[in-house]
């Protein structure tokens, strides 16, 4: 150790590693030098370097989203940490574990007019689960001060990765020298009373058991299931990982309820008897003639507007939301029973109960609607010209098993919901749906790819979303993350064609669609990526097959017409509705 700052940072970072931290992201700066050097020199932690803070933050978000473990994010002082804010909001809303470490000026420079000095204490407000203004490093710290660094690191990991996952913010003030320069009088060894555990264990271990479902809640839910044949199981975004998907599918089969799975739930892709066509067959109809009597929902609010409207119209007496972290997610305020319990344990409890044999009529109607939807969709997708929804259908069909698929907000995630057919092929699908912003999507996708480098990585993004985060492409080469980017270019904000403002030109075209006329082949060339333009189905499918899963990164750009895309989606809904009516499915 060279001085008080390097000692301070080394003790904290080592304890973070002992508590399980394995990855950190940061961009260049000065005030965070002690932390950067401590992370860079720790063998147990992988460093993902970036040139700007916003890309670093969203990369860290994607990494934690796909891996499920806390990731550290470090910034220098001033506005650098403020550039983390959009990703922090998304992490908070999506319950993604991030540990944000902002370096700061010492206390005597705060509120003094000193350059690059802002108020960083509790900078992120309520978007951080826990915020700490750490102590200033001392020349001769008492053992308790160093032990505080160790417990601070352990507590940060425990809170960020706890039952209600999210953001922890620790603000570290440092005086110069920030570099590892010896300072006379600075103690640079750790006293015996503050040393790390000899066995390599964290200084403080945190453990938490699973939240078992309340017996009365299980009895009540089991009684509702037994009393009502017409029920649904709905899996929204961000459901638990393995073994929950198979437990949910098994529960649906046993109780005879259709399972409607959002593409971001982790349940739609990788198993049988999962329904995913509901956005189409509920988009123009009231659904089955009979309304459901019971709905059991896991995960966040579903992506599908049609499904949410259907559940709202049902005005259910028994609408159960099961939440392992206890976070409310019901924007229609229809929930009758909120069960704060481990979702996997609840499924097992219900599966252990006796269940009456069901007739297949109710579930069979939903399965018939599902089959009719995809039969009609096959004809729609085969029609020309090619459109953006068909691209998502082709990606789901052609992507290799066990791939990571990240979809941008606005239209791509909605198209994945409507056109992403369920199947036995497992796809790990992600999107930033907490706050649903279009910023940082490319960086988040690359972070998700870094979490599992053995999996092929595909990003499907719109042109405006891609434009917002083109600087994130630097991480492709800098962090060695191969990616296939499917860029849907409709020359502006195509999603606005779904809103009534579309009837008010010229303002609609000028200020909402806002055509840009950009040629993104230049972005591919700038960042060293291959580039292919594929505007029809045959050329896209060929280009995607050839590129996906390879070690060379590529942008496959598909030009479509936004107005025509919106019309094709409407035609798809009409075709599904007509097919259902023709076959007399009610």
- Judged against a pLDDT cut of 90, whether residue 154 lies above it is answered with yes
286 CB-near residues (< 8 Å, 6+ apart): 310, 313
Q: Name the token pair of 119.
A: 């108020």
114 CB-near residues (< 8 Å, 6+ apart): 105
- Please tell me the predicted confidence (pLDDT) of residue 468: 95
Report how many helices (DSSP H) and strands (DSSP E) the chain contains, helices first: 21, 17
- CATH of 386-560, picked from 3.40.47.10, 3.40.50.11540, 3.40.50.970, 2.40.110.10, is 3.40.50.970
Tell me what percent of the residues of the chain surpass a pLDDT of 70. 98
At what angle are helices 215-227 and 343-351 packed, to 10 degrees? 50
At residue 20 the predicted structure's pLDDT band, cuts being 50, 70 and 90, is: very high
Report the CATH number of the 215-369 domain.
3.40.50.1220
Residues 367-381: tens digit of each pLDDT: 999 999 999 999 899
Asked if the domains 4-181 and 386-560 are classified in one and the same CATH topology, the answer is yes
The C-alpha atoms of residue 424 and residue 271 are separated, in whole angstroms, by: 5
Compute the average pLDDT of residues 1-15. 94
Residues 282-337: tens digit of each pLDDT: 976 666 667 899 999 999 999 999 999 999 998 888 999 999 999 999 999 999 99
- CATH of 4-181, picked from 3.40.50.970, 1.10.10.10, 3.50.50.60, 3.40.50.620, is 3.40.50.970
φ, ψ for residue 411, nearest 5 deg:
-80, -40
Compute the average pLDDT of residues 472-477. 96
Q: In this predicted structure, which of 28-32, 146-150, 357-361 has the lowest mean pLDDT?
A: 357-361
- Please tell me the predicted confidence (pLDDT) of residue 361: 85
Compute the average pLDDT of residues 105-123. 93
Residues 161-170: tens digit of each pLDDT: 999 999 999 9
At residue 12 the predicted structure's pLDDT band, cuts being 50, 70 and 90, is: very high
- Please tell me the predicted confidence (pLDDT) of residue 584: 79
146-163 exposure pattern, b = at least 16 Cβ within 10 A, e = fewer: bbbbbebbbbbbbbbbbb
The C-alpha atoms of residue 507 and residue 504 are separated, in whole angstroms, by: 6
Indicate the average pLDDT of the chain.
Answer: 94
558 CB-near residues (< 8 Å, 6+ apart): 386, 388, 391, 486, 487, 488, 489, 533, 534, 535, 540
For residue 306, the SS3 value is helix
Domain boundaries, the chain: 4-181, 215-369, 386-560
CA-to-CA separations, 50 to 28, 55, 389, 473, 524, in angstroms, rounded: 8, 7, 33, 10, 18
Compute the average pLDDT of residues 393-419. 96
Compute the average pLDDT of residues 204-231. 91
The C-alpha atoms of residue 155 and residue 166 are separated, in whole angstroms, by: 13
Q: In this predicted structure, which of 317-321, 356-360, 520-524 has the lowest mean pLDDT?
A: 356-360
At residue 581 the predicted structure's pLDDT band, cuts being 50, 70 and 90, is: confident
Compute the average pLDDT of residues 493-518. 87
- Please tell me the predicted confidence (pLDDT) of residue 19: 96
- Please tell me the predicted confidence (pLDDT) of residue 286: 65
């Amino acid at each position: 150790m060279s001085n008080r700052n390097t000692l301070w940072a080394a003790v904290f970072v080592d304890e973070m590693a002992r508590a399980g931290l394995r990855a950190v992201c940061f961009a260049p700066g000065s005030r965070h030098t002690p932390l950067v050097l401590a992370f860079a020199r720790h063998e147990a932690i992988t460093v993902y370097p970036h040139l700007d803070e916003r890309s670093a933050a969203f990369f860290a978000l994607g990494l934690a989203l796909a891996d499920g473990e806390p990731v550290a994010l470090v910034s220098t002082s001033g506005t650098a940490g403020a550039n983390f804010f959009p990703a922090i909001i998304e992490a908070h809303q999506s319950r993604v574990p991030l540990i944000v470490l902002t370096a700061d000026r010492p206390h005597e420079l705060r509120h003094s007019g000193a350059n690059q000095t802002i108020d960083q204490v509790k900078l992120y407000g309520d978007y951080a689960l826990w915020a700490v203004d750490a102590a200033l490093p001392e020349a001769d710290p008492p053992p308790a001060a160093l032990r505080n660094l160790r417990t601070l690191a352990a507590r940060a990991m425990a809170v960020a990765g706890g039952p209600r996952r999210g953001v922890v913010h620790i603000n570290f003030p440092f005086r110069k020298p920030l570099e590892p320069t010896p300072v006379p009088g600075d103690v640079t060894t750790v006293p015996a009373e503050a040393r790390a555990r000899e066995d390599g264990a964290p200084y403080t271990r945190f453990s938490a058991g699973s939240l078992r479902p309340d017996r009365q809640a299980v009895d009540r839910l089991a009684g509702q299931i037994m009393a009502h044949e017409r029920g649904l199981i709905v899996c929204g975004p961000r459901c638990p990982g393995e073994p929950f998907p198979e437990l949910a599918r098994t529960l649906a089969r046993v109780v005879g309820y259709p399972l409607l799975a959002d593409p971001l739930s982790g349940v739609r892709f990788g198993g049988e008897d999962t329904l995913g066509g509901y956005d189409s067959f509920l988009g123009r109809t009231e659904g089955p003639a009979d309304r459901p009597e019971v709905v059991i929902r896991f995960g966040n609010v579903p992506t599908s507007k049609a499904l949410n409207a259907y559940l709202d119209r049902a005005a259910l007496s028994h609408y159960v939301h099961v939440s392992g972290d206890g976070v409310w997610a019901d924007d229609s305020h229809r929930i009758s029973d909120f069960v704060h319990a481990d979702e996997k344990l609840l499924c097992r409890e219900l599966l252990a109960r006796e269940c009456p044999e069901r007739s297949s009529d109710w579930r069979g109607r939903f399965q018939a609607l599902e089959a009719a939807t995809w039969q009609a969709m096959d004809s729609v997708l085969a029609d020309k010209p090619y459109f953006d929804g068909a691209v998502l259908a082709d990606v789901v069909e052609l992507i290799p098993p066990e791939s990571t698929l990240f979809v941008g907000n606005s239209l791509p995630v909605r198209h994945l919901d409507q056109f992403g057919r369920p199947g036995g092929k497992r796809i790990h699908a992600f999107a930033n749906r907490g706050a649903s912003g279009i910023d940082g999507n490319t960086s988040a996708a690359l972070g998700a790819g870094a979490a599992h480098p053995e999996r092929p990585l595909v990003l499907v993004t719109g042109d405006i979303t891609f434009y917002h985060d083109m600087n994130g492409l630097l991480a492709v080469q800098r962090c060695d993350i191969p990616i296939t980017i499917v860029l849907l270019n409709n020359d502006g904000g195509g999603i606005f064609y779904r809103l009534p403002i579309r009837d008010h030109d010229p303002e609609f075209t000028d200020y909402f669609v806002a055509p840009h006329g950009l040629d993104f082949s230049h972005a591919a060339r700038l960042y060293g990526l291959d580039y292919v333009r594929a505007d029809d189905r045959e050329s896209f499918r060929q280009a995607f097959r050839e590129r996906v899963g390879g070690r060379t990164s590529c942008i496959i750009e598909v030009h479509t017409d936004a107005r025509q895309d919106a019309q094709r989606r409407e035609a798809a809904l009409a075709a599904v509705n007509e097919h259902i009516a023709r076959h007399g499915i009610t």
